[in-house]
């Protein structure tokens, strides 16, 4: 009973922060949350046109699937990770006035910021999968549980790194400027637009060190080929929690000074 009474205020506060994050993102927008689906769809259309029409890309890994499906399976979880990390980075500095007035667990702001992005993009991801299935793409919806496990791994990684970047952003305003190009490089170093097997040998070992590659590939394999790489994803989930724990330690050490520098 004691633990429940202590946890419930934090849970209610997290819910309030989460709803605020989702609603504030679309304040004044005519189409509201539809933009969360339109933007990645537009990006997907551009990639499909450039690589499928102009470069006429053909991968053996596509089998009976289109290049659009190939990219879509990995693009949405990557965008959730990227935007979640970017939004989480501003969770503390962007709420400076609240932090200086009210005492509460600061990590709730980071968790709410990242969670809002993942909820929105996960909804769009499911809509796109259903849409691709409706037009005849052979999507293995039976692999959705594995894909969701992959999403969980990306979520934990995003939250963990956001603990680090959000705490550093309070003291070093350059963090957000460094993060943008780093994420851009990471995007092209992650097998979103290509399979990992197509990377030339001199670079394949370095590319294999990218944790996202070991998450997005199983998601794609589950939805396109019905593969269940559960053990690999569970190993990555354990690694994600380890990274998150280390980043949270930094966050905890710096959080007492947020009120002075935010």
Q: Please report, rounded to a whole number, the percentage of residues in the chain having pLDDT higher than 90.
A: 61
Query: What is the pLDDT confidence band of residue 54, given thresholds at 50, 70 and 90?
Result: confident
Nearest to 131 by CA among 76, 82, 60: 76
**Under DSSP, is residue 192 helix (H, G, I), strand (E, B) or coil?**
coil
- Contact predicate 137/225, CB 8 Å: no
The per-residue pLDDT for range 169-217, each reduced to its tens digit, is: 999 989 999 999 999 999 999 999 988 888 888 788 888 888 999 999 9
How far apart are the C-alpha atoms of 137 and 131, rounded to whole Å? 9
Give me the pLDDT at residue 42, please: 86
Give me the pLDDT at residue 29, please: 56
Give me the pLDDT at residue 207, please: 82
Structural domain boundaries of the chain? 15-261
Give me the pLDDT at residue 197, please: 81
Q: How many CB atoms lie within 10 A of CB 53?
A: 10
Lookup: tokens for 51: 């690589």
The per-residue pLDDT for range 62-71, each reduced to its tens digit, is: 878 889 999 9
The DSSP letter of residue 54 is I
Mean residue pLDDT of the chain comes to 88
Place of tokens 């990639």: 47
- Cβ contacts of 38-45, under 8 Å, gap ≥ 24: 40/75, 40/76, 40/79, 40/121, 40/124, 41/128, 43/75, 43/79, 44/68, 44/71, 44/72, 44/75
Give me the pLDDT at residue 4, please: 47
């Amino acid at each position: 009973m004691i633990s429940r009474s202590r946890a419930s205020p934090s849970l209610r506060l997290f819910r309030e922060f989460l709803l605020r994050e989702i609603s504030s993102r679309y304040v004044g927008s005519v189409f509201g949350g539809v933009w969360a689906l339109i933007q990645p769809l537009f990006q997907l259309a551009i990639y499909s046109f450039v690589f499928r029409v102009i470069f006429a890309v053909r991968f053996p890994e596509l089998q009976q699937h289109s290049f659009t499906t190939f990219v879509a399976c990995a693009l949405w979880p990557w965008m959730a990770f990227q935007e979640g990390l970017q939004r989480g980075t501003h969770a503390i500095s962007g709420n400076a006035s609240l932090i200086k007035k009210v005492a509460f667990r600061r990590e709730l702001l980071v968790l709410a910021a990242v969670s809002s992005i993942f909820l929105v993009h996960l909804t769009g991801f499911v809509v796109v999968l259903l849409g691709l299935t409706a037009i005849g793409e052979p999507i293995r919806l039976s692999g959705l549980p594995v894909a969701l496990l992959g999403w969980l791994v990306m979520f934990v990684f995003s939250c963990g790194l956001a603990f680090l970047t959000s705490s550093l952003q309070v003291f070093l305003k350059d963090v957000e400027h460094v993060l943008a190009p780093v994420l851009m490089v990471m995007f092209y170093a992650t097998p979103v637009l290509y399979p990992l097997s197509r990377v030339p040998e001199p670079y394949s070992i370095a590319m294999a060190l990218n944790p996202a590659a070991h998450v997005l590939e199983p998601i794609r394999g589950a939805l396109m080929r019905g593969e269940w790489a559960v053990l690999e994803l569970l190993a990555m989930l354990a690694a994600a929690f380890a990274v998150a724990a280390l980043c949270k330690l930094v966050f905890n050490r710096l959080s007492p000074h947020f009120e002075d520098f935010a």
